[in-house]
Structure 1
Amino acid sequence: MGANSSSKQRAWVLFDSIVDEAAVHGEYSNPWVIDTTGALRYEPDFDTLQRLLGVPLLLGAATTTGVPALALDVWIAYELRRAGFDKDAVWPRATHPRILPAPVAKLLEKGALPATLQAELLARLTKTGNVKNVTHSSASILGKNYLKQVDVILTDWHTGPEVLISTKRMDSSYGKNAPNRVEESYGDAKNLRLRHPMAALGFVFGLRNDVFDKEPATADWLLDLLAKLGREDDAYHATCVVLVEYGDEVLPPGDNGADDEDRAVSAGLEPDDEDEDEPLVVADALIENDLKWLPKVRIDHARTPANLSPARFLAAMVEHVLDATPVNLHKRARDLRRALAPTPDVTATSTAP
């Protein structure tokens, strides 16, 4: 890929290829499984997550570029589509533009418009940078008192926001950065929850697992607070930690582990990437070659607290949406879950004489 390409542009090319391989021809696997006890549980696609997390390491993208956290966003959005939610209602979308109102996306479907007009619209929306007030690189949602940039969203005009998930990433300097991240997240949760009490509100924290060796006290403090953030009645419905393991040899030089997000952009005071460059066009052979060299990344399940596990978190998000909406909405998501729901043993519970 060209040396002048931005880290995010280059990352999106690889992210899209990884997700396309995981969802062959747009068909997603059913995330619901029956475990050995006969209980229904959500099984995340960790193989895809590990490959996505390798992209920023391959590109040498420091945390300040936003690419490491973006890998989490792409995966969570992919999981929501696996769960059966409308692919165009989940942001970031699997194709450019990443933020596009679902009704507009429907116009791009075959037969929605005369062929010539549809081709023109498709070219306008997908081949250029963002169209002002129509497409975006990130989404800001109005909370109780201010706009807040949210990383993963499920929304449509007739339902409003139904899932609002924020992500953070920290790979070093844990004691220095952790307090700020927790404090910011708590305030963001209150702001969003008070305006959107019915939406599934979640927080995902990506954390390099060497924190347990370098700063064990910080690790204990951080995991404890993350769990408490998910128990507040007026904050997040669920929280999650993704413990990431990789070698020091692939750590981007000079990365201080802070995401260093633009506070003005995050609070909706300034637009984000309104003049974003066109998406990169890269030969399949070059993409395939890059993917062969993805650094090895592993998810540390052994040290992930059960109450902060990705499986529990994703199940909570999906079930909250289904519980908060009538049965005629999100039919595919309901059918995927219902297809594997255990059948009650009526003979075992019968009280008939």
Structure 2
Amino acid sequence: MQVELYKRLLKDKKTAPSSAKVLGRAYVKQVDVVVAQWARGPEIMISTKTMGSSFGNNMANRFEESYGDAKNLRGRHPLAAIGFVFLLNSSIHSHESASYERAVDMMRKLKAEFDVYDATALIIADWTQGSAEGIKARPDLVPEDLSIDKFFEDIVSAVLSRTPIDMHVVVREKREAREIPVPEQDPAVDSSLSGLEGG
């Protein structure tokens, strides 16, 4: 019964949409990745931006947009883990080194305040404009504190620090490499399952 219901929900784009528009404090924001739970609401919201050229002309605009988006989402969802991933063409490093330094500085500043982003990541890759062929990530050009590994570590830490010990128990156990003698508490799932079993 539960599997059938799950399949039907995934087919219904009004119930389970593929795009995630989240109401913030001031406006609705299209978020690229959302993890939400019925009782807890949005737990993870990740926005992304890409820049392939004209770095010097557009970097300040990306900073303003990203900062404003974070404040908007944080204003309505203060306990959600909010992240920002910025994909840049590697030509920024070889041709516009000042813009590269600004991008690194910007990403660090976006997570420096408690009410902006919990995590930021910089992804730098080689690609030719207008082509999806031959894309190659360049982790060697990304500082460790802005790496994708650090990003996910910070996002998971934010979620776990803002939820009680009896939520996300399996994640906590894997992270701490120990068994936690606390049963998982998820009232929304428990009540929905009992309703299915009764029907």
* 2:130 equivalent in structure 1: 252
Cα 1:187/1:303, change in 2 over 3 Å: same
For 2:52 and 2:178, locate their aligned partners in 1 and report how far apart those are by CA, in whole Å.
Answer: 37
What's the CA shift string for 1:290-344, capped at 9, x where partnerless? xxxx844332222211221111111000011111111221122112212279xxx
1:323 equivalenced with 2:161 (yes/no): yes
For 1:236 and 1:325, locate their aligned partners in 2 and report how far apart those are by CA, in whole Å.
Answer: 18
For 1:165 and 1:151, locate their aligned partners in 2 and report how far apart those are by CA, in whole Å.
Answer: 6
1:306 equivalenced with 2:144 (yes/no): yes
CA positional deviation for 1:162: 0.9
Backbone CA RMSD of aligned residues: 2.4
CA contact (8 A) 1:163 1:201 kept: yes
CA positional deviation for 1:123: 5.9
Q: Residue type matched to 2:177 in 1?
A: A
CA positional deviation for 1:190: 0.6
1:136 equivalenced with 2:14 (yes/no): no
Partner SS, residue 302 of structure 1: helix
CA positional deviation for 1:237: 1.3
For 1:200 and 1:225, locate their aligned partners in 2 and report how far apart those are by CA, in whole Å.
Answer: 19
1:125-204 equivalences under 5 Å are: 125-126=10-11, 131=13, 133-204=14-85
For 1:197 and 1:206, locate their aligned partners in 2 and report how far apart those are by CA, in whole Å.
Answer: 26
Q: Residue type matched to 2:118 in 1?
A: H
1:221 equivalenced with 2:102 (yes/no): yes
Q: Which has the higher strand share?
A: 2
CA contact (8 A) 1:144 1:191 kept: yes
CA positional deviation for 1:245: 2.0
Question: What is the identity percentage for the equivalent residue pairs of Structure 1 and Structure 2?
Answer: 40
TM-score of the aligned structures, taking structure 2 as reference length: 0.80
Cα 1:123/1:136, change in 2 over 3 Å: closer
For 1:124 and 1:309, locate their aligned partners in 2 and report how far apart those are by CA, in whole Å.
Answer: 35
CA contact (8 A) 2:9 2:16 kept: no
TM-score of the aligned structures, taking structure 1 as reference length: 0.47
What's the CA shift string for 1:14-38, capped at 9, x where partnerless? xxxxxxxxxxxxxxxxxxxxxxxxx
Give 5+ residue unaligned stretches, structure 2.
180-199
What's the CA shift string for 1:1-24, capped at 9, x where partnerless? xxxxxxxxxxxxxxxxxxxxxxxx
Cα 1:340/1:308, change in 2 over 3 Å: farther
1:261-272 equivalences under 5 Å are: none
For 1:319 and 1:124, locate their aligned partners in 2 and report how far apart those are by CA, in whole Å.
Answer: 30
CA positional deviation for 1:235: 0.7
Cα 1:326/1:124, change in 2 over 3 Å: closer
* 1:242 equivalent in structure 2: 123
CA positional deviation for 1:189: 0.6
